[in-house]
Amino acid sequence: MGFIDTTRMLVLLAFRNLFSHRVKTAIVGMIMLFGTLLVVMGTALVDSIERAMEQSITASLAGHLQVYSAKGKDQLALFGGGFMGADDIGRIDDFSKVQDALSKVANVEAVVPMGLEGATVTAPGELEGALERLRVAVRANDKAPLATLQAQIKELLQQMKEERKVSLTITTDTKDLNEQIAKLDEGLSDALWARFEEDPLAVLEFLDTQVAPLAEEGRLMYFRYLGTDVDLFVQHFDRFEVVKGERIPPHTRGFMFSERFYERVVKHRIARYMDRVNESLHEEDLTIADDAGLQSLIRRSARQHRYITYQLDAKESAQLTDELKALLPEVQGGLPELLAEFLTVTDENFDARYAWFYAHVAPMLEMYAIDVGDTMTVRSYTKSGFLKALNIKLFGVYRFKGLESSDLASGTNLMDMLTFRELYGLMTDAKKAELSAIKDEVGLKDVAAEDAEAAFFGEGAGEVVARVDAEGFDEFADVKLARTETVAVDRTFTQSEVDHGMALNAAVVLKDRTRIKASMIEVEQALKDAGLDMKVVDWRTASGLVGQFVLLIRAVLYIAIFIIFVVALVIINNSMVMATMERTTEIGTMRAIGAQRRLVLNMFMLETMMLGVLAGAVGAGLGAGLTTWLGAVGLPAPNRQLIFLFGGPRLFPEVGASNLVAGLVVIIVVSLISTLYPAFIATRISPVAAMRTEE
């Protein structure tokens, strides 16, 4: 019998056996179908998550590749490496060299200079804000708000006095507290405010110098910022969009807050509380009645109603009081009592009060501690260890489209590259020239480190010696020698200044993202040819622990699939063994009429393969259909953390040919392996055994 005839016979036997053992076929077929469905959908979802997260990372911060100095002690982790402290990734002293080298790589579309650091900005305190508003009114000769502002200031001073009285009861060191209370009493005295009518500036000076220092400092806000070439960044990170104000103009110093940071940190305290409750109820499906954290937040909000009243003038206070009395007629008392009751929300009334707050209360408030167009003082420690302060204009607020609710994508604010370099502590040419003039004026001179002792104790002792290091840092860079350092917030600069300067790292944006690995090799070679000692990493490595999350998801999926298929293998194996025992007579008869063991083995393996192909094809089809349906409707992110992984509030999975092939191959291989033992048993059945079974 030839090969074709043998194959035809085996196929016919396989079909007959599959149909004649329907129960076994159905059980094994359903297992194969489910396994294929799992593999197709699982791998398609993980691949889709990886593509979505790649888009989130590459379009928001990383680019497709990142390059940084090989001298850095730490690995680059744009979204954090999971450890406290700032990473030391070295620095690129002249970005233009990197830019020139990589511009020769065919697949490189752009190279964007970057640097990530942290800084602080202080929002004015309540007393400071009230005094500033009073000062503005006095200078403008606007008498209308004076009475309200005076009442607000007195209320704040009275509260400060009460706090110190409480402190007197729990401390033995009362001298300082009594002195502070005396100053507060003077600030509250009728005599002081009577003098205000005659000499308001003198009273303001007393309040500024003697009383204001007793108040709590303004709210300190820490933020993370990215220094970059803003023009290049906006051009090549296409999810960027302005939501308030404007983007930093080309070649201009400036700053932009990310929308989520601006809303969650810079916004008015009570508005933030209301927003947080709204988010918890409608995005996290929590309830006030069952969540202790929300209950605590609401109690705190109700107690802090003064953050509203301190910002209202007499007319606004009267208007808001009337409106709240109409809304809450059962509440007795004035505006403080009405606000406390209004802010004590429940699940039933929150939505109505939330809308009412933004319709009636919010328009009367300064909603943001720093508003678009304001100049803010940003403070940061330089790499030399000095505190640097620069005045920067806030041009606007931005976000990344589709990632508005992601804390990861919205955790970084934006700054121009030249301001970043100054906060980093690098000496600019202008600063070097200014410092040189000051040194000449006071008679400073540079000496080498080895000659410092002789210059200080020997010849030339008495002269002040300064030393500028070779990297451009100077121990006098942040010392105010003879004048106060002022940075013009509207200063512009040239593209050459951006390019020919320092950066910590650089994002490489590719024309064809599918060639990341090949382009990575080309970029490494280009940097090496240019004599630059640099590290090159892909977006996943550059993102730190965040980028490894998909690998974790994939590992979990593969482990789950492995466990499921081990169980499936056992079930299929047992089913096939039982089926083999039932077919002892049939197999023995085949052996008696001359069938070789190899023919029996092939028959069993062919049955399994045919069932695997059929069930696998149906399972793959169902998996592809379900994945396509999910891709059409979208799979919602269950929480904000997954928004970043999903590339937006919904994941739209896609199924590819590789997912279908993987499902079919895996199920067929597992099925064949599970059939080996039963098939081996079948080959050992002899004609005698069949005859005994008949007897």
Q: Which residues pair with 510 in a beta bridge?
A: 108
User: Are 183 and 313 in a shared domain?
Assistant: no
| Residue 637 within a domain | yes
User: Are 674 and 581 in a shared domain?
Assistant: yes
pLDDT in tens, 528-540: 999 999 999 998 8
User: Are 600 and 677 in a shared domain?
Assistant: yes
Name the domain boundary from 332, 367, 402.
Answer: 367
Phi/psi region, residue 531 (left: phi>0; alpha: psi -120 to 50; beta: rest), is left
User: Are 573 and 656 in a shared domain?
Assistant: yes
pLDDT in tens, 533-583: 999 999 888 887 777 777 777 788 788 778 877 777 777 777 767 766 666
Using an 8 Å Cβ cutoff, are 89 and 72 in contact? yes
User: Would you mind telling me the total number of residues written for the chain in this entry?
Assistant: 695
Per the model's pLDDT, the better-predicted residue between 624 and 469 turns out to be 624
Find the mean pLDDT for residues 605-618: 83
User: Are 675 and 565 in a shared domain?
Assistant: yes
User: Are 10 and 146 in a shared domain?
Assistant: no
DSSP tag of 364: G
Name the domain boundary from 150, 181, 214.
Answer: 214
| Residue 77 within a domain | no
- Total domains in the chain come to 3
Q: How far apart are CA 112 and CA 430, in angstroms?
A: 24
| Residue 477 within a domain | no
Burial of 583 (0-12, 13-18, 19+ CB in 10 A): buried
pLDDT in tens, 221-258: 899 999 999 999 999 998 899 999 999 999 999 999 99
User: Is a pLDDT exceeding 70 seen at residue 431?
Assistant: no
Check residue 436 and give its pLDDT.
Answer: 67
pLDDT in tens, 254-276: 999 999 999 999 999 999 999 99
Check residue 402 and give its pLDDT.
Answer: 82
User: Are 276 and 358 in a shared domain?
Assistant: yes
User: Are 552 and 690 in a shared domain?
Assistant: yes
Check residue 485 and give its pLDDT.
Answer: 42
Tokens representing residue 1 in the block: 């019998």
Distance between alpha carbon 688 and the CA centroid of its chain, in Å? Answer: 73
pLDDT confidence band for 311 (50 / 70 / 90): confident
Per the model's pLDDT, the better-predicted residue between 650 and 322 turns out to be 322
Find the mean pLDDT for residues 672-688: 71
Tokens representing residue 31 in the block: 């297992």
The closest of 46, 229, 91, 109 to 516, measured between CA atoms, is: 109
| Residue 80 within a domain | no
Check residue 441 and give its pLDDT.
Answer: 65
Instruction: For residue 210, give the H/E element and its range.
Output: none
pLDDT in tens, 212-225: 888 876 778 899 99
User: Is a pLDDT exceeding 50 seen at residue 652?
Assistant: yes
Per the model's pLDDT, the better-predicted residue between 64 and 163 turns out to be 64
Q: Is 537 helix (H, G, I), strand (E, B) or coil?
A: strand
Give Cβ neighbours of residue 264 (< 8 Å, ≥ 6 apart): 272, 275
pLDDT confidence band for 413 (50 / 70 / 90): very high
Find the mean pLDDT for residues 396-414: 84
User: Is a pLDDT exceeding 50 seen at residue 121?
Assistant: yes
User: Are 678 and 554 in a shared domain?
Assistant: yes
| Residue 504 within a domain | no
| Residue 676 within a domain | yes
Q: How far apart are CA 678 and CA 668, in angstroms?
A: 16
Indicate the pTM of the whole model: 0.74
User: Is a pLDDT exceeding 90 seen at residue 94?
Assistant: yes
User: Are 291 and 180 in a shared domain?
Assistant: no
User: Are 577 and 667 in a shared domain?
Assistant: yes
Give Cβ neighbours of residue 102 (< 8 Å, ≥ 6 apart): 67, 108, 111, 508, 523, 526, 527
| Residue 143 within a domain | yes
Angle at 614 between CA 609 and CA 620, to 5 degrees: 115
Check residue 505 and give its pLDDT.
Answer: 94
Q: How far apart are CA 561 and CA 209, in angstroms?
A: 71
Name the domain boundary from 174, 192, 214.
Answer: 214
| Residue 183 within a domain | yes
pLDDT in tens, 167-184: 888 877 788 888 899 999
User: Are 36 and 142 in a shared domain?
Assistant: no
pLDDT in tens, 474-500: 444 444 443 334 444 447 899 999 999
Burial of 20 (0-12, 13-18, 19+ CB in 10 A): exposed
Q: What are phi and psi of 252, to 5 degrees?
A: -130, 140
Q: How far apart are CA 240 and CA 398, in angstroms?
A: 7
Check residue 467 and give its pLDDT.
Answer: 47
Tokens representing residue 686 in the block: 């002899």
Mean predicted lDDT score pLDDT of the chain: 82
pLDDT confidence band for 368 (50 / 70 / 90): very high
- Please give the residue range of the domain that contains residue 148: 126-214
Number of helices and strands in the chain (H, E): 28, 14
pLDDT confidence band for 586 (50 / 70 / 90): low
Lowest mean pLDDT among 56-60, 268-272, 432-436, 482-486: 482-486
Find the mean pLDDT for residues 44-59: 85
Q: Pairing relation of β-strands 65-69 and 534-538? A: antiparallel
